[in-house]
C-alpha cells in the first residue's frame, strides 16, 4: 500500500512538472508571438510592408491561432498588393475571431481584397457578412453597393459577349452553309457542263456517223460531190454529144464533098 502511494506521488510530481513545462513553453511562445506582432506593427507604420509580413508570419509560427497576427498579415499583404495571398488570412481571421467587431473587419477587408481580384460575387458576399456582424458600418454598406454595381456590369458584359459569340457562331454557320451551297452549285454547274459536253460529243459523233453513212448529208456537207465524176456522163449529155457528133459528121461530109467538087475541072460550056 505504501509502495502504491509512493508511485502515485511520483506520477503526480512528473505530471505536474510536464504540465508546468508545457504552460511555460506556451507562455514563452505567446510572448514571442506578441513580440513579433509588435515588431510587425512598427514596420507596418513605416510602410515596410514586406518586412512587416515576415514579422507577422513569425508571430503565427509561435502561435498559429493568433487572430491579430493573421489579420495584420492580411493587411500587410494587401498593402503590398498581394491580394490573393491576403484573402486566406482574412478568411482565417473571420473564422476564428470570437468577437463580432473583429469578424466584421475581417470580412470587410476580405471584400476589398476580392474587389481588387475582380471577384465581385465573392466581394458582395463578404460585405454582406461584414454587415451581419456590424450593421451600422456605413463604409461597408457603401462598398457593398459598389460591388453590386460592378457585379451587374460584369454580368451584362458577359451576356453581351455571349450573344456576340452566338452571333459570330451563327454567322460562321451561315457562311459555311453558303460556302457549301456555292460548292454544290459549282458542282451542279460543272456536272451540267460535263453533261452538255457529253451530249454535245454524243450528238456530234452521231451526226458525224450519220453524215458518214447518209449520202444526202454527205452531199450537203460536200457540194462538189454532187457533180459527176470525170469520165462519166449523164444520159442527156450522151444524147447531146451524139447529136453534136452527127452534126459535125454531116458538116465534115459536106466539106469533103465540096472539096472533091473543086478538085474537078469545071465543065464550062462556051457560047462559040
Is the pLDDT reported for residue 269 higher than 50?
A: no
Q: Kindly state the cell numbers that stand for 129.
A: 457578412
CA distances to 56, 109, 119 from 33, rounded to whole Å, are 8, 23, 33
Which one-letter DSSP state was computed for residue 99?
S
Over residues 49-74, the pLDDT tens digits come to 999 999 999 999 999 888 899 999 99
**Residue 129's Cα: distance from chain center in Å?**
42
Is the pLDDT reported for residue 33 higher than 90?
A: yes
Do residues 139 and 173 touch, judged by C-beta distance below 8 A? no
Question: What whole-number percentage of the chain has pLDDT above 70?
Answer: 61
CA distances to 11, 252, 271 from 247, rounded to whole Å, are 178, 9, 41
**Rounded-to-integer distance, Cα 31 and Cα 122, Å:** 36
User: What pLDDT is attached to residue 238?
Assistant: 64
Q: Kindly state the cell numbers that stand for 221.
A: 456537207
Q: Kindly state the cell numbers that stand for 16.
A: 505536474
Cα Rg for the chain, rounded, in angstroms? 64
User: Which backbone phi and psi does 165 adopt, to 5 degrees?
Assistant: -65, -40
**Rounded-to-integer distance, Cα 155 and Cα 228, Å:** 99
User: What pLDDT is attached to residue 81?
Assistant: 95
What confidence tier does 261 reach under pLDDT thresholds 50, 70, 90? very low
Over residues 105-153, the pLDDT tens digits come to 999 999 999 999 999 999 999 999 999 999 999 999 999 999 999 999 9
Query: Chain-wide mean pLDDT for the chain?
Result: 76
Exposed/middle/buried for residue 117 (C-beta within 10 Å: 0-12, 13-18, 19+):
middle
Do residues 109 and 78 touch, judged by C-beta distance below 8 A? yes
User: Can you count the helices (H) and strands (E) in the chain?
Assistant: 9, 0
Is the pLDDT reported for residue 245 higher than 80?
A: no
User: What pLDDT is attached to residue 8?
Assistant: 62
User: What pLDDT is attached to residue 252?
Assistant: 66
Give me the count of residues in the chain.
272
User: What pLDDT is attached to residue 218?
Assistant: 47
Is the pLDDT reported for residue 157 higher than 90?
A: yes
Kindly state the average pLDDT of the residues 142-165: 90
Is the pLDDT reported for residue 15 higher than 70?
A: no
Over residues 179-226, the pLDDT tens digits come to 776 676 666 666 666 666 665 555 555 444 444 455 455 444 444 444
**In 33-144, which ranges are E strands?**
none
Amino acid at each position: 500500500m505504501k509502495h502504491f502511494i509512493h508511485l502515485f506521488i511520483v506520477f503526480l510530481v512528473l505530471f505536474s512538472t510536464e504540465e508546468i513545462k508545457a504552460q511555460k513553453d506556451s507562455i514563452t511562445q505567446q510572448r514571442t508571438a506578441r513580440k513579433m506582432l509588435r515588431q510587425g506593427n512598427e514596420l507596418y507604420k513605416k510602410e515596410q510592408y514586406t518586412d512587416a509580413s515576415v514579422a507577422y508570419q513569425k508571430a503565427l509560427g509561435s502561435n498559429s491561432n493568433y487572430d491579430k497576427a493573421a489579420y495584420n498579415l492580411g493587411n500587410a499583404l494587401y498593402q503590398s498588393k498581394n491580394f490573393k495571398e491576403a484573402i486566406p488570412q482574412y478568411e482565417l481571421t473571420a473564422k476564428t475571431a470570437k468577437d463580432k467587431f473583429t469578424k466584421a473587419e475581417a470580412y470587410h477587408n476580405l471584400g476589398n481584397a476580392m474587389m481588387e481580384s475582380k471577384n465581385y460575387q465573392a466581394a458582395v458576399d463578404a460585405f454582406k457578412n461584414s454587415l451581419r456582424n456590424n450593421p451600422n458600418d456605413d463604409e461597408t454598406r457603401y462598398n457593398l453597393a459598389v460591388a453590386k454595381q460592378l457585379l451587374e456590369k460584369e454580368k451584362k458584359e458577359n451576356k453581351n459577349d455571349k450573344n456576340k459569340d452566338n452571333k459570330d457562331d451563327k454567322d460562321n454557320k451561315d457562311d459555311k452553309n453558303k460556302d457549301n451551297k456555292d460548292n454544290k452549285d459549282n458542282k451542279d454547274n460543272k456536272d451540267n457542263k460535263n453533261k452538255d459536253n457529253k451530249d454535245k460529243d454524243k450528238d456530234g459523233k452521231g451526226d458525224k456517223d450519220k453524215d458518214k453513212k447518209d449520202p444526202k448529208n454527205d452531199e450537203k456537207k460536200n457540194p462538189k460531190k454532187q457533180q459527176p465524176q470525170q469520165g462519166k456522163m449523164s444520159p442527156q449529155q450522151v444524147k447531146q454529144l451524139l447529136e453534136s457528133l452527127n452534126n459535125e459528121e454531116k458538116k465534115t461530109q459536106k466539106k469533103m464533098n465540096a472539096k472533091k467538087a473543086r478538085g474537078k475541072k469545071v465543065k464550062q460550056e462556051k457560047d462559040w
